[in-house]
Structure 1
Amino acid sequence: MPLTSSLAPSNTATGANPPNSAAPLAGSLQLASSKPLPPESELPRYLVSEKLDGVRARWTGQTLVTRSGNLIAPPAWFIAALPADVLLDGELWAGRGRFEWLSGLVRSRGRDDDWYQVQLMVFDTPQSGLGFAERHKWLQARLSDKTEPLKLVEQRRFQHLSELNDYYQAVIRGGGEGLMLHREDALYIDGRNPLLIKLKPLNDTEGQVIGYRAGKGQFEGMMGALHLRLLDGREFFLGSGFSFDERRHPPAIGAWVTFQYHGLTDKGLPKGARFLRVRPME
């Protein structure tokens, strides 16, 4: 997948203070945006790392919690290896292509030996007042004496989009998910950060509507997901990418729809699928 360039939003970092390790972590979770790449002239301002296909985890200094705040319960030896006075944002990771195995481990109990295959890959610390490059430098110094299972995610800089593309293609060929581009002066914010860009390949395919799943919550009384039969005969539910109007008036049974996805699950079903459009009748 070739890389393209367009203008990214701008931001100005505030004055830098030492990270406040006593600040609460609850409610502070930064998410990446699917934004266009920065122009080549801006590229050197971004730190680039591999996008890891793991389980998002936050270390509060005492407990490890998921993206939604649920407690993660690894063995005592794993917790003991983490610093008691540093707030960390990262990802539990067991290697490329092992998300489903890892997700099952995180939800299970009594599999302590399997945790020796897991690392907490740290990519940030939720501190106010520091740009990302400064936060990363602070983490390098603070975690320099730490070993397994804690590891700081490597950050790289590129001068040219062609160099970035070479690295991106190498990651994808090796089974990686993609890249994360984080502008050096970006502050840590709660929610989507326009200066934190995720770059990963998208595929598209088609499926035939064979049923519906009812919506819940804000989609009560509407379509929650389409039940699709794929070209190879397998079935799955497509629930993302629809407008409210499309949920009120979903594609008819028998219609063919096109959707995007990135990669496949262990069962060969589309991962991260989003509705694009109904295929016109031919």
Structure 2
Amino acid sequence: MQRRDLLSHLSLGCLSSFAHLPARATQPPALWLANPYQGHEKLTDYWVSEKYDGIRGYWDGHQLLSRSGKALNPPTWFVQGWPAHAFEGELWAGPGQFEQAASVIQQKQAPDNAWRAMRFMVFDVFTPSITFTERVRRYQGLVKHIDKPWVQAVAQSQVPTHAALKALLHTTVQAGGEGLVLHRGSSLYQSGRNADVLKVKPQEDAEAKVVGHEVGQGKHAQRTGALWVETPQGLRFKLGTGLNDAQRENPPAVGQWVTYRYRGLTDKGVPRFASFVRIRPAIER
């Protein structure tokens, strides 16, 4: 499917208007979070981009932070020349390389060659007073100003119909992408979840904390059959599908957070067909 890039008419913005932040973060940055796409939205109101399967990073003008506010440890050369203005993106190691990206980022001093395989995919700037359409122009200008091959601007386009969006999702996932992000062009920067930012994936996903282990039966006897997990809302359920043999022998520990996929909810709010995906990196909590 052809994607119409509607940004060609936008000139590069002046970097001097980016918001300056305090010298050091004292709490998690107030970032926007995406809600699930419902299928009834007016798509012409939204920009569409690929959802990169990496670790979200936030440059506060002085240091690179995780979305939970923890300081990351990139080499000096990786952030050299970055401006004293806030912007954010995804630390990404390529399609299907989430575990590699998480491993690099969680090390206090990962080797240079590991960081040279990373990309910082910039998708927004912290300039609360202007719309997302204007912020796209700003972050494109910022990336051009930094002028480093590992700092890249996330491409934005628009699709006219939900069928076209579905086709683009299929193409993106087939190429190894995680999904898509919809961002309302007229929206101002707003922290938390809202209808201005939506995620589109083949299946929904969420996080839960491991609160126990259930011993398996049959071929899984004497090892973990399922995890008992608890959502941030306090709902508990079992998560057994998706665990491989190594994870059943050495399961995620009680207290760790995991990501799971599911297909809708039951009448009681329990995720249907929930399947374990991975342990959530500690740097994100």
* TM-score of the superposed pair, with normalisation by structure 1: 0.70
State the one-letter code of the partner of 1:163: A
Q: Could you tell me which residue of structure 1 aligns to residue 32 of structure 2?
A: 30
Supply the distance in 2 between the matched residues of 1:225 and 1:32 (Cα, whole angstroms): 29
- TM-score of the aligned structures, taking structure 2 as reference length: 0.69
CA contact (8 A) 1:29 1:189 kept: yes
The structure with the larger Rg is 1
Inter-partner Cα distance in structure 2 for 1:116 and 1:266:
32
2:104–2:110 CA contact under 8 A, matched in 1: no
Partner of 1:88: 87
Gaps (5+ residues) in structure 2?
1-15, 249-257, 263-269, 274-285
**Partner in structure 2 of residue 148 of structure 1:** 149
What amino acid sits opposite 1:30 in the alignment?
A: W
Q: Is the partner of 2:96 in helix, strand or coil?
A: coil
- Which secondary structure does the structure 1 equivalent of 2:138 belong to? helix
Q: Which residue of structure 2 aligns with residue 253 of structure 1?
A: none
Q: How far apart, in 1, do the equivalents of 2:137 and 2:110 lie?
A: 37
Q: 2:129 matched to which residue of 1?
A: 129
1:10 aligns to what? none
- Residue of structure 1 in register with 2:260 after alignment: 272
Q: CA deviation at 1:22?
A: 1.2
Match of 1:78 in 2: 78
Separation in structure 2 between the aligned mates of residue 129 and residue 102 of structure 1, nearest angstrom: 33
Using the TM superposition, give the Cα deviation of residue 150 of structure 1 relative to its aligned residue in structure 2, in angstroms: 0.8
Question: Could you list the runs of 4 or more consecutive aligned residues of structure 1 that deviate by over 6 angstroms after TM superposition?
Answer: 258-261, 264-270
Change (3 A) 1:154 1:242: closer
- Retained in 2: the 8 A contact 1:260–1:276? no
Letter in 2 for 1:179: L
Q: Give the aligned partner of residue 227 of structure 2.
A: 237
- Alpha-carbon RMSD across the aligned residues, in angstroms, is 3.5
Aligned to 2:162: 161
Structure 1 residue 203, shift from structure 2 partner: 7.8
Task: Give the partner amino acid of 1:136.
Answer: V
List aligned pairs for 1:40-119, cutoff 5 A. 42-81=42-81, 83-108=82-107, 109-119=109-119
Letter in structure 2 aligned against 1:176: G
Write the mapping of 1:212-223 to structure 2, written as runs, cut at 5 A: none
C-alpha distance in structure 2 between counterparts of 1:230 and 1:167, whole Å? 42
Deviation at 1:21, TM superposition (A): 2.6
The separation in 2 between residues aligned to 1:121 and 1:141, in whole angstroms, is: 14
* Structure 1 gaps, min length 5: 1-17, 205-214, 217-222, 251-256
Q: Aligned partners of 1:265 and 1:241: how far apart in 2?
A: 22
Deviation at 1:151, TM superposition (A): 0.7
Equivalent residue letter for 1:193? N
Distance in 2, matches of 1:266 and 1:57, equals 32
Alpha carbons of structure 1 residues 77 and 137: separation in structure 2 relative to 1, 3 Å: same
Q: Is the 8 A contact 2:59 2:65 kept in 1?
A: yes
Shift of 1:19: 4.0
C-alpha displacement of 1:174: 1.7
How far apart, in 1, do the equivalents of 2:124 and 2:86 lie?
A: 9
- The whole-number CA distance in structure 2 between the counterparts of 1:228 and 1:273 is 22
Q: In structure 1, the residue corresponding to 2:144 is in which secondary structure?
A: coil
Query: 2:225·2:240 contact (CA, 8 Å) conserved in 1?
Result: no
Query: How far off its partner does 1:136 sit?
Result: 0.5
